[in-house]
Amino acid sequence: MSVSIKEVAKLAGVSVATVSNVLNQTKNVRAETKSKVEIAVSQLKYQINPLARNFRKGESKVIGFVVSDLSNYFFQNVAIGLERSLSNYGYLVALMDSKESKTLEIENVKNLLALSVDGLVIATTGEDCCYLNLILENHDVPVVFVDRKPFGFKSDMVLSTNNEGAYLGIKHLIQKGHEKIGFITSRNDSTMGERIEGYRQAYLEAGLQVNENHILTGDNNVSISQNLLLHGIAYTQAKRLVEAGEVTALFAGNNLSSIGVYNYLREANIKVPEEIAFLTFDDSFWLSMTTPSISAIKQDPDMIGSVAGQLIYERISDKTNEQPDRILRIPTCLVLRSSV
Amino acid sequence: MSVSIKEVAKLAGVSVATVSNVLNQTKNVRAETKSKVEIAVSQLKYQINPLARNFRKGESKVIGFVVSDLSNYFFQNVAIGLERSLSNYGYLVALMDSKESKTLEIENVKNLLALSVDGLVIATTGEDCCYLNLILENHDVPVVFVDRKPFGFKSDMVLSTNNEGAYLGIKHLIQKGHEKIGFITSRNDSTMGERIEGYRQAYLEAGLQVNENHILTGDNNVSISQNLLLHGIAYTQAKRLVEAGEVTALFAGNNLSSIGVYNYLREANIKVPEEIAFLTFDDSFWLSMTTPSISAIKQDPDMIGSVAGQLIYERISDKTNEQPDRILRIPTCLVLRSSV
DNA sequence: CTGAAAGCGCTTACAG
DNA sequence: CTGAAAGCGCTTACAG
């Protein structure tokens, strides 16, 4: 239906090889020949057939982004950064939502491979990613992990400075006079491990003893953001800690937990920050619209996505690249509002 | 590097045509022959080369989703529904963010076409979509519009029941005794036109006279959700209306406006709903976390996305389908909280 | 600097 | 029911 390179060659009176060479600037072509080709191209309104080229070059120009939970705004912003960065290089990003299900995640990776993506960016649902070794065995497809650190599979990763961020937040709470700070999170993975490490460091530095009962992690049986029970496990944890009079401040380990904690504080009519101070990891616009507005450790998901895009592009462009796997950390910072 | 259909044919002792036929179930193959092929396939761990197949069949199995503003959670949820629906049919969805820029939108469509998508779902930045006629001239690529109604280009659309939703909300306000309701929106397009129409209908039905000064639309010079000035035009509009003592209730025409209106009410320390009642079009989880929680006309962006996926799939599967363009409406409903 | 030709891995009339 | 063969539209050694 559409015009092919052959017809361009015929009209221009040259070979298809020459047409291809001017189109792709793969070889030097005499100016005169070149212009003949260009005229033919524009006369015929020729457009290269990307399907044929992809086939020939063995690439699809699409990168798959497998997201643990697409209804979580954190990952949505990662997607935004990823798309912007990759579109610079002429790549499309195809989204796959795993809805916090490992089974679906594996399914998604398989489907992406079956449609032959050139690379994979994964925010994994669970940390065990052994399955990838088998699935990727016969595929030369680079992988970059974002936000969550996998085990059982080697690849580049882009993560937040979880440790430093939490350290910063806890340190601030301590400076405000808090010595009993509850750390509440709905997950229990290496990311949370890093944040808890930051908590410990701040305590250590201040010469305070960590009370292990103040660190409450979830069971990893997480529901997706969209279906979030507004109370959930973080709600219960906050309630327990506060009612027992155990703490003077609450630190939510991630954005989902912050919702549960906030809802408890609000429903229990607790004065924030007077009675209980509140700080959360992961910023969002709604934190400035609550009463009181909520202070947060701000991550940069957009940057995480765009850096992941660069990494995957590097790996694709330079397949011989034998450089070891990298872990890149994207800075976090403290955004102060009224809850601390 | 990987094994091809030829090698399978050789090992099975049949022709490549036969292998292809059992793989795709395109023809009846004798059971015995079939099993020979299947054994060879599994022995060689053969996997079809999707690039070759796509090339041969003239399809890419990817649908482009061009989003006016990917940082707006409304469209993120459309993307979720779209991905789920299309992945059922074996299609990938590639995201492109237009950041409310028409130029970027056109760029995105071109890039998508240059990478040869099989279909286009568009949430357009501006209503004038004439440019598509030219760009799509030589492409047999079906288009479905979501959320915003274009002009200058004919295609299927999936929209919310804007008129009915606004009608429902305004009617509720009127029942609560409000007769002077401000309609505030940061945009001025056909979607807002439909919502304003609902406003008028509710007034008409109640035998009330519409005061045109109470309907304040934006200049369409919208910034993206992410960069949202928390005050913005809706903030100013709300302030004007309330300070003039013009209204007893405020209706925000979309989610971006609701942020501006809410921020004004909060900063001005206005008691909601006692002094001013507040209702917004478009629901979100944060509306239940403010004080007071905010009532909303709930749309179903996920459904909009998934229906759009079905429509585009239909158009792709049945190219001869000469059925006229459809406008599908997804229902909205009233979610009551404390602000009315 | 240019061209003739092979070939990427499939699918699909066509013939038998 | 099966196979031989053409061909999709490119890119890329290779030869000149």
- Is B319 an 8 Å CB contact of chain A? no
CA A53 → C1' D12, Å?
12
Contacts of A93 in chain B (CB under 8 A): 94-95
Interface of B with A in 202-221 (CB under 8 A): none
The chain B residue lying nearest A46, using CA atoms, is: B138
Considering the domain architecture, whether residues B192 and B312 belong to the same structural domain is answered as no
Residue A25's pLDDT is 86
Structure tokens given for A205: 């530095």
Per the prediction, chain A carries an average pLDDT of 92
Any strand C atom closer than 7 Å to A110 CB: no
Interacting residues of B340 by C-beta distance below 8 A, sequence separation 6+: B172, B173, B176, B249, B273, B277, B278, B279, B295
B335 in a structural domain = no
Considering the domain architecture, whether residues B150 and B200 belong to the same structural domain is answered as no
Task: Give B132-155 pLDDT, tens digit per residue.
Answer: 999 998 888 999 999 999 999 999
Task: Give B200-220 pLDDT, tens digit per residue.
Answer: 999 999 999 999 999 998 776
- Is A73 an 8 Å CB contact of chain B? yes
B336 in a structural domain = no
Check if the beta carbon of residue A100 is closer than 8 Å to that of residue A224: yes
Residue B131's pLDDT is 95
Lowest mean pLDDT across A48-57, A132-141, A331-340: A132-141
Considering the domain architecture, whether residues B196 and B153 belong to the same structural domain is answered as no
Q: Does A150 sit behind a cis peptide bond, omega within 30 degrees of 0 on the bond before it? A: no
Long-range contacts for A75-78 (Cβ within 8 Å, ≥24 apart)? A75/A123, A75/A147, A75/A301, A76/A301, A76/B70, A76/B71, A76/B73, A76/B76, A77/A301, A77/A302, A77/A305, A77/B71, A78/A123, A78/A146, A78/A147, A78/A301, A78/A302, A78/A304, A78/A305, A78/A308
Identify the residue with better confidence: A260 or A138. A260
Domain housing B258: 162-299
Torsion of CA B312, B315, B316, B317, to 10 degrees: 120
Per the prediction, chain B carries an average pLDDT of 92
CA B264 → C1' D14, Å?
74
Identify the band that residue B265 occupies on the pLDDT scale cut at 50, 70 and 90.
very high
Any strand C atom closer than 7 Å to A30 CB: yes
Q: Which residues in B10-26 are b (16+ Cβ under 10 Å) and which e?
A: ebbebeeebbbbbbeee
A56 in a structural domain = no
Considering the domain architecture, whether residues B187 and B85 belong to the same structural domain is answered as no
Any strand C atom closer than 7 Å to A21 CB: yes
Q: Which nucleotide is nearest to A55 (CA to C1')?
A: C8
Q: Which has the closest alpha carbon to A162: A336, A339, A330?
A: A330
Residue A323's pLDDT is 77
Residue A105's pLDDT is 97
Interface of A with B in 79-98 (CB under 8 A): 79-80, 83-84, 87, 90, 92-97
The chain B residue lying nearest A78, using CA atoms, is: B71
DSSP letter at A115 equals: T
- Is B336 an 8 Å CB contact of chain A? no
CA A208 to CA A285: how far, in whole Å?
A: 33
Check if the beta carbon of residue A329 is closer than 8 Å to that of residue A159: yes
Of B13, B29, B48, the one marking the end of a domain is B48
When mean pLDDT is compared over A264-268, A295-299, B224-228, B285-289, the highest value belongs to A295-299
CA B57 to CA B48: how far, in whole Å?
A: 14
pLDDT of A90 > 60? The answer is: yes
Task: Give A207-235 pLDDT, tens digit per residue.
Answer: 999 999 999 987 766 665 655 555 678 89
Considering the domain architecture, whether residues A156 and A167 belong to the same structural domain is answered as no
Q: Which nucleotide is nearest to A7 (CA to C1')?
A: D9
Percent of chain B with pLDDT over 90: 81
Where does residue B221 rank: exposed (0-12), middle (13-18), buried (19+ CB within 10 A)?
exposed
Task: Give B61-118 pLDDT, tens digit per residue.
Answer: 999 999 999 999 899 999 999 999 999 999 999 999 999 999 999 999 999 999 999 9
pLDDT of B224 > 70? The answer is: no
Task: Please compute the mean of the pLDDT values over residues A232-252 and round it to a whole number.
Answer: 93
CA B92 → C1' D7, Å?
28
Identify the band that residue A187 occupies on the pLDDT scale cut at 50, 70 and 90.
confident
Residue B221's pLDDT is 62
Q: What are phi and psi of A303, to 5 degrees?
A: -65, -40
Task: Give B109-118 pLDDT, tens digit per residue.
Answer: 999 999 999 9
Identify the residue with better confidence: A224 or B320. B320
A101 in a structural domain = yes
Contact between B263 and A289 using a beta-carbon 8 Å cutoff: yes
Considering the domain architecture, whether residues A252 and A312 belong to the same structural domain is answered as no
Residue A223's pLDDT is 63
Contact between B62 and A62 using a beta-carbon 8 Å cutoff: yes
Q: Are strands A277-281 and A215-216 parallel, antiparallel or unpaired?
A: unpaired
Count up the domains in chain A and report the number.
3
Considering the domain architecture, whether residues A136 and A187 belong to the same structural domain is answered as no
CA B248 to CA B262: how far, in whole Å?
A: 15
pLDDT of A20 > 70? The answer is: yes
Interacting residues of A197 by C-beta distance below 8 A, sequence separation 6+: A163, A166
Residue B218's pLDDT is 79
Q: What are phi and psi of B220, to 5 degrees?
A: 65, 5
Helices A5-12 and A31-44: crossing angle in degrees, nearest 10, is 120
Considering the domain architecture, whether residues A122 and A136 belong to the same structural domain is answered as yes
B271 in a structural domain = yes
Q: Which of B45, B116, B262 sits opposite A50 (nearest CB)?
A: B116
Considering the domain architecture, whether residues A188 and A258 belong to the same structural domain is answered as yes
Considering the domain architecture, whether residues A212 and A263 belong to the same structural domain is answered as yes
CA A268 to CA A239: how far, in whole Å?
A: 8
Residue A139's pLDDT is 87
B171 in a structural domain = yes
Identify the band that residue B321 occupies on the pLDDT scale cut at 50, 70 and 90.
low
CATH code where residue A240 lies: 3.40.50.2300
Q: Which nucleotides in chain C lie less than 7 Å from some protein C-beta?
A: 1-13
Considering the domain architecture, whether residues B100 and B36 belong to the same structural domain is answered as no
B201 in a structural domain = yes
H helices of chain B, where? Answer: 5-12, 16-24, 31-44, 50-57, 73-88, 102-114, 131-135, 162-175, 190-205, 232-243, 255-267, 301-317
Considering the domain architecture, whether residues A295 and A166 belong to the same structural domain is answered as yes
DSSP string of B47-92? Answer: ---HHHHHHHHT---EEEEEES-TTSHHHHHHHHHHHHHHHHTT-E
Q: Give the neighbor-by-neighbor strand order of the sheet with A181-184.
A: A215-216, A181-184, A249-252, A277-281, A295-298, A333-335
- What protein residues sit with their CB closer than 7 Å to strand D? A 2, 4-6, 16-17, 20-21, 23-24, 26, 46, 48-49, 52-53, 55-57; B 13-18, 21, 27-30, 32-34, 55-56
Residue A118's pLDDT is 96
Q: Scanning the structure block, which residue is given the tokens 């340190």?
A: A171
A53 in a structural domain = no
CA A48 → C1' D13, Å?
22
Contacts of B64 in chain A (CB under 8 A): 92
Any strand C atom closer than 7 Å to A23 CB: no
Any strand C atom closer than 7 Å to B170 CB: no
Interacting residues of B236 by C-beta distance below 8 A, sequence separation 6+: B260
Question: For residue B130, how many other CB atoms are within 10 A of its CB?
Answer: 10
